[in-house]
Amino acid sequence: MRETLYTIGEVSKLANISIKALRYYDKINLFKPSYVDPGTNYRYYKDSQLYRLDLIKSLKYIGTPLEEMKKAQELKTEELFTFLTEQEKIVREKVDYLLEIEQNIANVKKRMQRQKDYPVLGEVSVLEEEEMRIIQVEADGISQKEFLNAFYSKLKHTIESIDGFLNNGEGAIFSYQPYVQAEEIRYMKLFMPVLTAKQELSLPQNVEISSIPGGKYVCIAFIYSPESYFKSLKKLISHIEAHHFTVISDIYEVFSPSHYSPNQSEEYIVEMKIQVID
């Protein structure tokens, strides 16, 4: 059979692959020209070697690293079968990972939608809430005025390793009682919601998995200020007392930024809720 030589431009068109890619493959010894003219430095490829690009393009399509492609070129059919089985497993793991990310995004959007649909800011509502998984740490009795975002560093590191998403809100738990002034409030726990449904989680020391139970909650959400904070808490407690609800939980407090713009003043939305029964 007569051997035909093609220029790099012709191979680019025949194999539907860029000239830049062909030059790079030559540089890294993945797919080299059959002949290089010493005078012009033009690359020429034999017709009989073009089929090798089929494997390279196929492996590139499934995301195989270049170094692994080099190894695959040297494999016999049985060995290549095993190699592709391993690649299949890697792709499956990537798909599972992306599906998990997709679910986490859906969960974040669901919580953001709930915030958007909140009845009226500054007013008390009675809502049926779903169970929420959380990770938590002891708060050592810090007051609301002593609170710093930095206290959540350990929880954020954990959430980042579990979920990847940090747009979950930050929370605190303190006891239900007839407070007279904000200075009396002491946080018992700090927490962050967990998006993933994984049952086995690797948690650092002093961080524990827990949940906020599903059920009936008396809730209030408001734009944070020192004045609105305690005013809203008193409004929440007064509503519970006026309707003779039986309180069966501590007070759960979740706060999240209303925006992330560096060009606007910081603004936080705080939600307080207490589980009750009639």
Q: How many CA atoms lie within 13 A of 254 on its CB side?
A: 20
Kindly state whether residues 152 and 263 are assigned to the same domain.
Answer: yes
In a domain, 95, yes or no: no
| Domain interval for residue 67 | 5-73
| pLDDT single digits (tens) 121-171 | 999 999 999 999 999 999 989 987 787 778 888 888 888 888 777 666 899
Identify the burial level of 47 via C-beta atoms within 10 angstroms of its C-beta, where 0-12 means exposed, 13-18 middle and 19 or more buried: middle
Do both 123 and 209 map to the same domain?
Answer: yes
Whether residues 152 and 230 fall in one domain = yes
Q: Mark whether 130 and 34 lie in a shared domain.
A: no
- Please report whether residue 54 resides in a domain: yes
203 and 265 together in one domain: yes
Q: Which pLDDT value is given to residue 115?
A: 77
Sheet with 268-277, edge to edge strand ranges: 124-129, 215-223, 268-277, 246-257, 170-174, 189-193, 132-138, 208-212
Q: Are residues 143 and 240 located together in one domain of the fold?
A: yes
CATH of residue 21: 1.10.1660.10
DSSP, residue by residue, 166-206: -TT-EEEEE-----SSGGG-B--EEEEE-----S-----TT
- Residue 167: per-residue pLDDT: 66
Residue 272 in any domain: the answer is yes
In a domain, 103, yes or no: no
Residues 26, 135 within the same domain: no
Cβ–Cβ < 8 Å for 269, 253: no
The angle subtended at Cα 117 by Cα 114 and Cα 122, nearest 5°, is 100
The structural domain count of the chain equals 2
Last residue of one domain, picked from the residues 15, 42, 73? 73
Q: Are residues 44 and 140 in the same domain?
A: no
Residue 84 in any domain: the answer is no
Same domain, 69 and 122: no
Question: Which residues of the chain are under the pLDDT cut of 70?
Answer: 1-2, 166-168
Q: Is residue 237 part of a domain?
A: yes
138, part of any domain = yes
What pTM was computed for the model?
0.75
CA distances from 76 to 80, 141, 246, 262 (A): 6, 67, 73, 58
Residues 69 and 161 in one domain: no
Tokens of 9: 């431009």
In a domain, 44, yes or no: yes
